Amino acid sequence: MRAVEPLRILPGEGVEALDQTLLPREERRLRLRTVAEVAEAIRALRVRGAPLLGVTGACGMAIAGGERGAGREALARAAAELKATRPTAADLGAMIDEALRAADAAGDDEDERRAALWRFAAEALARQRVRDAALARHGRDLPGMEGGVLTHCNTGALATGGEGTALAVIAAAWRAGRVARCHATETRPLLQGARLTMWELAALGIPATLLPDSAAASLIASGRVNAVITGADRIAANGDAANKVGTCALALAASRHGVPFYVAAPRSTFDAAAATGADIPIEFRDAAEVGGFGDQRWSPDGGDAWNPAFDVTPADLIAAIVTERGALRPPYGPAIAALTGMAR
């Protein structure tokens, strides 16, 4: 089993990130030293996954403390620039806001502010690793997490910096002798499942099968999978969950065939300001991503494309939401309020 380290924090210097757009063909690490470089890496999906985006955002704020001075106005500008890169992931904005509070708590001395921001970024990554391990333990014994399971997009170490969310649950169930095989969707149009999840499953030594997104419903209907589990980028107060586009279709197929559909996400993914999924902002990406991949194009030039990066799965299709503090079950409103302290 090979460890995957997508992010290395270099206090006072910057951050070293594994460029996920090049995987699995090439493992190249990027040295990010400016806020602009961090923002570009996030926007271009060189760094991705909601929890890892949060940690990366905290690193961007630490860089801002040195790059632009640690004044409140300069930090606020950096925060706005970083938040604008990926609007759907809750962790990014939440972690940036926490970094701003850490800077304020350090007082008016710029050196102390800078040190506090780097300390906060390192602590954020360490906390995420602890959360991932706890989340995996809570999800390991869920009903259906045995035999064949299905997942979508990428939710391993590449997405969090720790063990992952849904993929960490799958790995824990596999180590416990429950999961025998993980089926992974390609996750079009950017193929995070084919490129990243299959790469991570190979590194973990878990038997894996890749399938086109369009084959997922027939796989569920075939009886070859006993559970579907995905991550989430933002979860509303009622349990509606935004995740990589295509997730809702999996939940619908799983419901039709009596297969439990689970979401695995840390507490930081819940958004108190979103009452339902209708309140979650959905990121739309460049139409050029749909008609090909990289330099290869298979769609005629000039055609239009609808390219949402995420969709929302209604709470009534979700059998359980696994967090680092345990598995939540319907009705989600009271359970989420108890977990996060949200007002009901």
Residue corresponding to tokens 């099968």:
209
Identify residue 23 by its one-letter amino acid code: L
- Higher local confidence (pLDDT), 306 or 343: 306
Gap between the Cα atoms of 158 and 165, Å rounded: 10
| Active-site option among 91, 132, 213, 233 | 233
Q: Is the pLDDT of residue 312 over 70?
A: yes
Q: Is the pLDDT of residue 210 over 90?
A: yes
Tens-digit pLDDT profile for residues 227-242: 999 999 999 999 999 9
Residue corresponding to tokens 């923002």:
39
Which phi and psi (to 5°) does residue 29 adopt? -105, 135
Tens-digit pLDDT profile for residues 146-174: 999 999 999 999 999 999 999 999 999 99
> Has 233 been annotated as catalytic?
yes
Residue ranges and CATH numbers for the domains of the chain are 7-134 (1.20.120.420), 137-340 (3.40.50.10470)
Q: Nearest-CA neighbor of 153 among 114, 191, 193, 125?
A: 193
Tens-digit pLDDT profile for residues 126-137: 999 999 999 999
Give the pLDDT band (50/70/90) at residue 343. Answer: very low
b (16+ CB within 10 A) / e for 106-135: beeeeeebbbbbbebbbebbebbbebbebb
Task: Find the mean pLDDT for residues 78-96.
Answer: 95
> What's the confidence (pLDDT) of residue 70?
62
Gap between the Cα atoms of 262 and 322, Å rounded: 7
SS3 68: coil
Q: Is the pLDDT of residue 344 over 80?
A: no
Cα torsion 36, 39, 44, 46: sign:
positive
